[in-house]
Structure formats: structure tokens, C-alpha cells
Amino acid sequence: MNLVIDAGNTAVKLAVFDRDKLVRLVIIPYEETISGLEKLFSSYPEISHAMLSAVGPWEFTSDQWLPASCTLVVLDAQTRLPFRLLYDTPETLGKDRIALAAAALSAYPGKNALVIDAGTCITYDLITDQKEYRGGAISPGLQMRYRALHDGTAGLPLLEPEVPEQLTGTSTSGSIHSGVVLGICYEIQGVIEEYRALFPDLTVILTGGDAQFLSKQLKNTIFAHSNFLLQGLNLLLEHNKS
């Protein structure tokens, strides 16, 4: 069995896989990480391999939580990948983007795929049918855009995301919702159209925390469940076992 650790900015996801099947998922704050790991290893003594992907404040050494019987792979720029990385600065490439590319490769083999991750930021990642990761783009996410309007001005309120009733806002709140939500949707649709001009058979995958909210406004995308990134990390772990 495998253990995948996705250490984000505010919380840690612990996922136990039996080959490619997710059998347990625990989401905990950082202060509960060690106890959470101890409980998982106690419940699943068959775990023999683990992968750590840390983008947040991970400060734990392996001897604090890793049993001697378990092999650890830390995702970094030197990790073996199941695709060719065509990125000028691989050392700066986000671990989440690597994992999402791996998940797309696994879920849609032999396809040109664009993975759109709608989270804190919106990332676009292209992997081709030749197993080549080409890169993509990064732009501000939904909450970040709402906060930027509030923090960067003297009079605009901080609003919760809401689907606008119409294109033309007839109030300040309506104008903000139109600008933020429809602005993101037009951006995503525009990026998809540009990539489809290059790859007509493109498979488009939408994932991330805001994917469900945005999917109602977007067409021609495949809505991926929230565990898509974890599946990608598990695939990378399997690839590195040998």
C-alpha cells in the first residue's frame, strides 16, 4: 500500500492507496500531522511506500513519523517522471502542477490534455500525446481577485463569490461579481480556444477548490474530482518504486 502526503499552505492531506484505489483520505491541520500519521500507519501496517509533496510549512523530519519499514520519496526537481519535462526552470515548477500532469497522463493516455486547476491561483498545464509536459500559465484565482479589488481600493467591499445574474452589473456588488466571475470564465474559455487551435483533439480537465463553482459557467470541460492531484502523486510514487 502507498501513502501520499500533500502538504499544502494551510492543511495536510494524507491519502492511503491500494495500488490505484484510494482507500482512506484524512485532511488535518499541521499541528496534528505527527499524530495523524501515527494513526494511519497503525491502521494500515501494509503501507510500504510514501510520497511527500510539500508546498507549505513542512518542518517534520522523517525520523519523527516514518517507520523503518516504509520507503520515502520526496517530490522535487530530481524525481523521476513518466513524461518528458520541457520546462526551462524545472526547479521552480510547482509540485502540484507536476502531479496534475501525471494524473492527466494516467487518466487520458495518448491524449493532448490541458489541466486547469482553479485554486488559490489558476494554473494551466499542457501535456501532449507524446508524453511531453510543455508548461502553461498562472493567474490569480477567484478569492484572490475579490480580495485584490477590496485591498487595492478605498471603497470596494469584500464579497463572497456569487454567480452574476447578468453581464451588465447594475450595482457595485453586481459589477464586481460580473467582473470577477465572468472575467475568469472568459479567461479560461479564451485559453482553451487558443490551445484547441494548436491541438484540435484537446482534452480539457478542470479541477481544484473552485472547479465546481466555475464548471457551471464553463462548457467543453471535464470536471475532475477533488482527489485528482492525489491520484497524480500516487502515480508518481508507483513510477519511482522501481
Helices in the chain by DSSP H: which ranges? 33-43, 95-107, 142-151, 172-177, 183-198, 211-215, 228-240
Indicate if the pLDDT at residue 221 is higher than 90: no
Which pLDDT score is estimated for 201? Answer: 94
- Same domain (yes/no): 101, 29: no
Tell me whether residue 96 is one of the annotated catalytic residues. Answer: yes
- Same domain (yes/no): 9, 115: no
DSSP per residue, 125-185: EEE-TTSEEEEEEEEE-HHHHHHHHHHTSSSPPP------SSSS-SSHHHHHHIIIIIHHH
Which pLDDT score is estimated for 215? Answer: 86
For residue 227, say whether it is annotated as part of any ligand binding site. Answer: no
157-168 pLDDT, tens digit per residue, is: 999 999 998 999
- Same domain (yes/no): 83, 34: no
- The stretch 173-188 carries a mean pLDDT of 96
Residue type for 112, please? N
- Same domain (yes/no): 151, 239: yes
| Cβ neighbours for 38, distance < 8 A, ≥ 6 positions apart | 65
For residue 128, say whether it is annotated as part of any ligand binding site. Answer: no
Return d(Cα 6, Cα 230) in angstroms, integer: 7
Return d(Cα 130, Cα 104) in angstroms, integer: 13
- Same domain (yes/no): 57, 122: no
For residue 129, say whether it is annotated as part of any ligand binding site. Answer: no
Return d(Cα 153, Cα 178) in angstroms, integer: 18
- Same domain (yes/no): 133, 145: yes
Question: What percent of the chain stands above pLDDT 70?
Answer: 100
Q: Number of structural domains, the chain?
A: 2
Give the CATH number of the domain where residue 177 resides: 3.30.420.40
Q: Which three cell numbers stand for residue 109?
A: 493516455
Q: What range does the domain containing 96 cover?
A: 76-242
Domain boundary among 74, 106, 132: 74
- Same domain (yes/no): 131, 234: yes
| Cβ atoms 55, 9 nearer than 8 A | yes
Q: Cell match 507549505: residue?
A: 56
Residue 1: strand, helix, or coil: coil
For residue 89, say whether it is annotated as part of any ligand binding site. Answer: no
- Same domain (yes/no): 70, 141: no
- Of 114, 105, 81, 109, nearest in space to 95 by CA: 81
For residue 151, say whether it is annotated as part of any ligand binding site. Answer: no
For residue 125, say whether it is annotated as part of any ligand binding site. Answer: no
**Dihedral Cα 16, 18, 20, 21, nearest 10 deg:** -80
For residue 97, say whether it is annotated as part of any ligand binding site. Answer: yes
- Same domain (yes/no): 204, 92: yes
Write down the pTM of the prediction. Answer: 0.90
Rounded to the nearest 5°, which phi and psi values hold at 212?
-65, -40
Indicate if the pLDDT at residue 72 is higher than 90: yes
Q: Cell match 471535464: residue?
A: 222
Marked catalytic residue, from 76, 96, 151, 210: 96
- Same domain (yes/no): 116, 219: yes
21-55 pLDDT, tens digit per residue, is: 999 999 999 999 999 999 999 999 999 999 999 98
- Same domain (yes/no): 64, 28: yes
